[in-house]
Amino acid sequence: MRQASTRPAIAITTGEPAGIGPEISIRAAWAMRAQVNCVLLGDAAFLALTASLIDPDIQLAALSVQALRNGGLPQFGPSRICVIDVPLGAHVVPGVLDPANGRAVLATLDLAVEGARAGWFDAMVTAPLQKSTINDAGVAFSGHTEYLAEKTATAQVVMMLAGETASATAPDTPDNVALRVALATTHLPLKDVSAAITRDGLGRVIDIIHHDLKNKFGIAAPRILVTGLNPHAGENGYLGREEIDTITPALEAARARGIDARGPYPADTLFQPKYLMDADCVLAMYHDQGLPVLKYATFGRGVNITLGLPLIRTSVDHGTALDLACAGLGQADCGSMEQAIRTALQMVDAQRASQL
């Protein structure tokens, strides 16, 4: 276990206030305070009230943004978790969305990015937000992934979810196998997916996966298995030509760059042990081709990671769960949030090791 004095600092954006984000952020930060100095970003009064209802023993320490801007993050021992106040626009009713709070949620992301780039935080972990509420607040928004790319002026990022399989949920998959599923496209309507997959774009996605698995996960020679887009990987062109015209040439070019990228494999039969045992990551073409498999096998223990960013960002594998939030505290499982923090810590260590 890490010493308190060497605990990395992680910014946690507490997400949609009417959802389960604030609760799971507080619970996970408190449970993991010996290993990590979590700094919660959200409305301080609301977080203090929520923490007191979860467990009156939870100790919060207020930090001001100005103090951070002047001198960085001060040292804190593991007896408290830190909070930076990002005031909400309206009173919170659990389970009830209010666009008046949308911009405050975005402000927590902006602050986490500022702090990660300034070196106050070693990584950022995001609790779930409600994409529709940000849009209802007047800001076009399709997800953290795209927003963080824009905020950091990163031309290409990759969404990857990872989790450990367990036989209870995926009986034919070996226990404790790390399953990683990356996506060639992110939050895109299905009708736009084919046009969004190009040889060059797919090449950039593969390069980012290869680079980040090496440098942020410590995998020396990443093996990437790539799905087709169409049923049966296009059936030799009879069920679509994207495999022939786009995916295969992109994979050949990646291999010529020294990357172990194989495929395209039919997506419906790729997710079986004989392939997965020989892979570090599966690259699927679109959101609902890859994520249902991952979430079926690992829901509640999975982590969402944005590759390609100039900072480390992880998140949970689930959403705001408004149904649980309105049922009261204590309903939500915070396993994925804890795993998101653990994964961020591992990535901090791997990145440091790769820079030695």
Ligand X SMILES: N[C@H](C(=O)O)[C@H](O)COP(=O)(O)O
What character string, x for contact with ligand NAD (CB under 6 A) and - otherwise, covers 74-113?
Answer: ----------------------------------------
Diameter of the chain by CA atoms? 64
Nearer to ligand X (CB atom), residue 165 or residue 304? 304
Nearer to ligand NAD (CB atom), residue 37 or residue 320? 320
Closest residue to ligand X in the complex (CB): 143
Half-sphere exposure of 59 (CA within 13 A, CB side): 8
- Exactly one of 17, 128, 228, 290 binds ligand NAD (CB under 6 A); that residue is 128
Contact predicate 312/348, CB 8 Å? yes
Residue 140 makes CB contacts below 8 A (sequence gap 6+) with none
Nearer to ligand X (CB atom), residue 230 or residue 304? 304
- The structure tokens 């073409």 sit at 285
- Exactly one of 132, 154, 198, 351 binds ligand NAD (CB under 6 A); that residue is 132
Q: Which two tokens stand for residue 236?
A: 């030799």
How far is the C-alpha of 343 from the C-alpha of 10, rounded, in Å? 11
Nearer to ligand X (CB atom), residue 126 or residue 246? 126
Give yes or no for residue 333 binding ligand NAD (CB under 6 A).
Answer: yes
Which residues of the shown chain bind ligand X in the complex (CB under 6 A)?
143-145, 291, 304, 315, 317
**Which of ligand NAD, ligand X, none interacts with 333 (beta carbon under 5 to 8 A by kind)?**
ligand NAD
C-alpha closest to that of 26 among 68, 64, 69, 55: 55
- Give how far Cα 251 sits from Cα of 146, 202, 248, 272, 336, Å: 25, 8, 5, 21, 33
**Which of ligand NAD, ligand X, none interacts with 282 (beta carbon under 5 to 8 A by kind)?**
none
Give yes or no for residue 324 binding ligand NAD (CB under 6 A).
Answer: yes
How far is the C-alpha of 116 from the C-alpha of 338, rounded, in Å? 19
Kindly report the number of other CB atoms within 10 A of residue 51's CB atom.
24
**Could you tell me which residues are beta bridge partners of residue 315?**
126, 304
**Which of ligand X, ligand NAD, none interacts with 145 (beta carbon under 5 to 8 A by kind)?**
ligand X
Nearer to ligand X (CB atom), residue 128 or residue 263? 128
- Exactly one of 192, 200, 235, 323 binds ligand NAD (CB under 6 A); that residue is 323
How far is the C-alpha of 257 from the C-alpha of 178, rounded, in Å? 26
Closest residue to ligand NAD in the complex (CB): 319
In the range 257-316, which residues lie near ligand NAD by CB under 6 A?
Answer: 304, 315-316
Nearer to ligand X (CB atom), residue 145 or residue 339? 145
C-alpha closest to that of 38 among 285, 282, 334, 255: 334
Q: Which one of 189-197, 236-244, 255-263, 317-325 is the stretch in contact with ligand NAD (CB under 6 A)?
A: 317-325
Cis bond before residue 264 (omega within 30° of 0): yes
Enumerate binding residues for ligand NAD (CB under 6 A).
20, 126, 128-132, 144, 304, 315-316, 318-321, 323-324, 332-333
